[in-house]
Amino acid sequence: QFTTISTTQLYDYLEGRHILPVNSILITFDDGLLSTKVYAYPILKEHGFSAVQHIISSRTGRFEGEQVFDGNGPLQFFTADEMKQMTDVFQFEAHTHNLHQFSKGAGIALEMSSADIAMDLQQNVNMLTDAISLAYPFGHYDEDMIEAMKEVGLLIGFTTNEGYANMQQSNYEVNRFGITENKTFEQFTSYVKGVNWS
């Protein structure tokens, strides 16, 4: 009974140009991890769902071709070839080129000028071609990040703040619900059903 939507549909909704079907959801994954190809991709495909993968483009070149997933090894990231294989399910969006790093307890982008952030984001966008959104690394962002996003044509900023996407907030401060191993199935269903989740 649920309809998965694209970032473009979400943007048009946030701008008041599009009415979404009842029970619309946007499923997002951050980082472009190979584990989501193994576990999420087949299930999404089986149910006719789409989802968004926010890609750290500097990490897609760590390996070429198709990888063998190793759940006990270091994190593995999609290659460009693997991304091409999954366009029937995944839409690829921005997660910076090389700013997914910590410095002094926060995302490194918070130490940078909007011009330097824009240079990084441009590399990210060039690799992805159709990206209109950015998931902030670690959920950290500031006015320089937003200014840089606008400069390179990104229209939506996804935070790690828990809540529903709504037209009352800036398009650069879109809420999401984080679903991790620490969330119960009951919490998950309450988010999806839109019941009291506090």
Give the pLDDT score at 82: 95
Give the pLDDT score at 22: 87
Angstrom CA distances, 147 to 97, 112, 172, 185, stand at 17, 12, 10, 38
**Which residue in this structure is represented by tokens 């750290």?**
56
- The string of pLDDT tens digits covering residues 49-78 is 999 999 999 999 898 888 999 999 999 999
**Which residue in this structure is represented by tokens 């999401």?**
176
Give the pLDDT score at 162: 93
Give the pLDDT score at 197: 52
Q: What is the pLDDT along the chain (198 residues), one digit of tens a residue?
A: 899 999 999 999 999 999 999 889 999 999 999 999 999 999 999 999 999 999 999 999 898 888 999 999 999 999 999 999 999 999 999 999 999 999 999 999 999 999 999 999 999 999 998 999 999 999 999 999 999 999 999 999 999 999 999 999 999 999 999 999 999 999 988 888 887 554
- For residue 63 the two structure tokens come to 């390996």
Closest CA to 66 of 95, 39, 86, 43: 86
- The string of pLDDT tens digits covering residues 121-133 is 999 999 998 999 9
Give the pLDDT score at 196: 57
Q: Whole-prediction pTM value?
A: 0.93
Give the pLDDT score at 112: 96
